[in-house]
């Protein structure tokens, strides 16, 4: 996977660039597959797991107006990026692995190499770039619906939107936003590399493709979790102001 990452990065910047059409197709493919599952997952999880639980607790201590500030931590920094990455890996990533795995089983990848066509530049690079960009964009989409889930949870507990927005914006910073988008974009890169690698190394017929899809999802989740731990610790260490509630 490390070697594939290096080859992909080099192929992405080295001319020629024959993958424009495939990049657009993969980008639109991910958009069509992911937008609705991500909407439902983001709204439901932020409303239930974060919104209702936090709102119930804050209500007991008379601080429901602090729910907006909590959602900077919950939705913007962690839950939004993680849900986006998980849905992308489970929906678009599995489709990517199955597609490349089927091509590997049919020996199409070997045929491309015989014809002098680089599979990395023509197949991996467009998927890598498309998934990075679409994951970063979907993170903004996820944040909007995640915060909306928090507003619904606040209203369910008798709160009003004003205090929610006040504490949200008083605690939110541009660092939170760019950190969230950057983290999610790298999540997309991890998913793309893992899924492409597992697809291009599949073997054993249809059963092998199924195993490759299963492994791609598991390894993607592990990679996302490991990188999220390192990124969060680094961000908080370099920006200690994020640890101070307002």
User: Residue 242: which of 165, 163, 179 has the closest Cα?
Assistant: 179
- Confirm if 11 and 121 have CB atoms less than 8 A apart: yes
What's the predicted TM-score (pTM) here? Answer: 0.92
Hey, what are 178's tokens? 């760019």
Q: Is 234 left (phi over 0), alpha (psi -120 to 50) or beta?
A: alpha
Local confidence pLDDT in tens for the 246 residues of the chain: 999 999 999 999 888 888 888 999 999 999 999 999 999 999 999 998 888 888 888 888 888 888 888 888 888 889 999 999 999 999 999 999 999 999 999 988 889 888 888 889 999 999 999 999 999 999 999 999 999 999 999 898 888 888 899 999 888 889 999 999 999 999 999 999 999 999 999 988 889 999 999 999 999 999 999 999 999 999 999 988 888 877
Hey, what are 170's tokens? 């008083």
In this structure, the number of other CB atoms found within 10 A of the CB of residue 240 comes to: 8
Contacts of 217 (CB under 8 A, 6+ apart): 89, 90, 93, 94
d(CA 230, CA 171): 23
- The DSSP code sequence of 113-163 is HHTT--HIIIIIHHHHHHHHHHHHHHHHHHHHHHHHHHHHHHHHTT--HHH
């Amino acid at each position: 996977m490390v070697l594939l990452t290096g080859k992909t990065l080099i192929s992405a910047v080295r001319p020629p660039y024959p993958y424009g059409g495939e990049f657009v197709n993969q980008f639109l493919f991910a958009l069509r597959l992911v937008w609705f599952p991500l909407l439902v997952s983001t709204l439901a999880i932020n409303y239930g797991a974060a919104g209702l639980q936090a709102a119930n607790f804050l209500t007991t201590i008379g601080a429901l107006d602090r729910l907006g500030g909590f959602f900077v931590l919950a939705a913007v920094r962690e839950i939004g990026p993680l849900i986006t990455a998980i849905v992308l890996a489970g929906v678009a990533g599995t489709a990517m692995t199955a597609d490349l795995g089927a091509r590997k089983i049919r020996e199409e990848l070997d045929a491309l190499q015989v014809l002098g066509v680089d599979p990395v530049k023509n197949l991996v690079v467009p998927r890598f770039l498309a998934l990075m960009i679409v994951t970063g964009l979907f993170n903004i989409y996820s944040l909007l619906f995640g915060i909306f889930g928090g507003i619904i949870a606040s209203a369910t507990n008798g709160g009003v939107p004003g205090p929610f927005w006040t504490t949200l914006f008083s605690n939110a910073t541009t660092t939170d936003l760019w950190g969230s988008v950057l983290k999610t974009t790298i999540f997309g890169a991890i998913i793309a590399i893992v899924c492409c690698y597992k697809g291009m190394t599949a073997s054993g017929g249809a059963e092998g493709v199924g195993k490759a899809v299963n492994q791609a999802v598991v390894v993607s989740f592990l990679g996302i979790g490991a990188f999220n731990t390192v990124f969060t610790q680094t961000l908080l260490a370099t920006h200690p102001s994020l640890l101070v509630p307002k």
